[in-house]
Amino acid sequence: MYGAHTSSALRGDYRRARADFTVEQGWHRYSAADQVLWRRLYERQCRQLADSACEAYIDGLARAGSATRIPDLKAVSDALTAATGWRLVAVPGFIPDAQFFAHLAARQFPVTVWLRKPEEIDYLVEPDIFHDFFGHVPMLFDPHFADFVQRYGEQGLHAITLDALPLVARLYWYTVEFGLIETPKGLRAYGAGILSSAGETAYALDSAQALRIRFDLQRCMRTRYRIDAFQKTYFVIQSLDQLMAAIDQDLDLLLTQLRSAPELDPEHLAPGDRIVAPRRSAMPIPMSKPVPPPAGVATP
C-alpha cells in the first residue's frame, strides 16, 4: 500500500501471497502466547471505550465477537457480509496502492495476519492484526460508514490516474484513522488509529495540546499529518452521513482546486476553522508514539 514508507524491511511473509496480495490467515499458527497477548490488548482498549468510542463502533465491536481470542477472519466475514456486504481478506502486511483501493471498492477490507510481540505492545513500525481488526472492523458493521469506505476505494483508484494520492490519503488519515464525531453523549472517536491506541484515545479527546476543528473536506485534504507521534489536529464530523457527502463528488474538479492551494500545517489554525472543545477539561497528556495505521495511507 502507499503507506509502506518505512526504513525497515516489511515484516509480513509475502511468499504465499496471491496476485491480489491476499493470503490464508492460518489461524492454527497463532500460539497460546499470541492468544494471551490478544486478550491483554483487547481488555486494555475496552476499558477506555464506554465514554470514548461512538455507538456505531461499540455496537460493531460486540457483533465482531472476538474478545477472548484472535479472530478467525472468515467466520467474522460471514457476520459482516450479512450486515453490510463487506468481507475481510487476510494480507501479509502493507500492499500496493492500487490493490488496496481495489479491495475497498469491492467491499473487501485487508487485515494483516501477524500479531505484535509483547515488547511491542505500545508501538509498532507496521500495523498488525490487532490494529486492523480492533480498530477498523467494528465500524464496517455500520451501513453509512461501510458505504463511505467503499466509495473511498473507488475514488482512490481514480486518484491514482490523477497522480493525487497524497491529497486523497489525507482524507483517509483524518477520518478512517483519526476521526472524531460529535454525538448526543459528547465528543467520541470513530477512527481506528485512535481506538486501537492506548495513549491516543485519551489524548485525542481530552488533551489541551491538540486542535479539534469541524470537518471541512478541502481543509482536511490540504493538511499535512504526523506518522511518528500523536496528531496535532483532529477533524470532527457531526454525523457519519457527512463522510459520504464529502467523498461522493466530482474528484477531478476538487483536485484541480486543491493543486493550487498551499498545504496547511497541522499545528496551527487556518482562517475559517471552527473549534470544537475537548471532551472535558484536562491537564496536558504526556505524548508517546502511537501504533501506525494500516497501509493505504501515504506519508505527508
- Whether residue 111 has pLDDT greater than 50: yes
pLDDT in tens, 118-134: 999 988 888 999 999 99
CATH architecture, domain defined by 27-259: Orthogonal Bundle (1.10)
Selected residue with higher pLDDT from 63 and 226: 63
pTM of structure: 0.91
On whether the CB atoms of residues 293 and 127 are closer than 8 A, the answer is: yes
Length of the chain, in residues: 300
Query: Quick one: pLDDT at residue 259?
Result: 86
- pLDDT-derived band at 285 (thresholds 50, 70, 90) equals very low
How far is residue 165 from each of residues 2, 96, 171, 259, 298, measured CA to CA in Å?
8, 12, 10, 12, 7
C-alpha cell, 219: 481543509
- Whether residue 196 has pLDDT greater than 70: yes
How many C-beta atoms lie closer than 10 Å to residue 52's C-beta?
22
90 DSSP assignment: E
On whether the CB atoms of residues 174 and 234 are closer than 8 A, the answer is: yes
Residue 53 phi, psi dihedral angles, 5° rounding? -95, 150
Mean pLDDT over residues 136-143, rounded? 98
Q: Which residue has the cell 493550487?
A: 260
Query: Quick one: pLDDT at residue 251?
Result: 87
Q: Identify the CA nearest to 53 among candidates 169, 135, 172.
A: 135
- Whether residue 291 has pLDDT greater than 90: no
Indicate the domain borders of the chain: 27-259
- pLDDT-derived band at 222 (thresholds 50, 70, 90) equals very high
Selected residue with higher pLDDT from 232 and 227: 232
Q: How far apart are the first and last CA of the chain?
A: 14
CA atoms within 13 A on the CB side of 81: 11
C-alpha cell, 123: 508501538
- Whether residue 300 has pLDDT greater than 50: no
Apex CA 292: angle with CA 164 and CA 21, to 5°?
Answer: 65
- Whether residue 192 has pLDDT greater than 70: yes
DSSP characters for 201-255? HHHHHH-TTSEEEE--HHHHHHB---SSS--SEEEEES-THHHHHHHSS-HHHHH
Active site residues: 131, 136, 177, 196
Q: What mean pLDDT is reported for the chain? A: 90
What is the distance between the alpha carbons of residues 263 and 258, in angstroms, rounded to a whole number?
Answer: 9
Query: Quick one: pLDDT at residue 8?
Result: 58
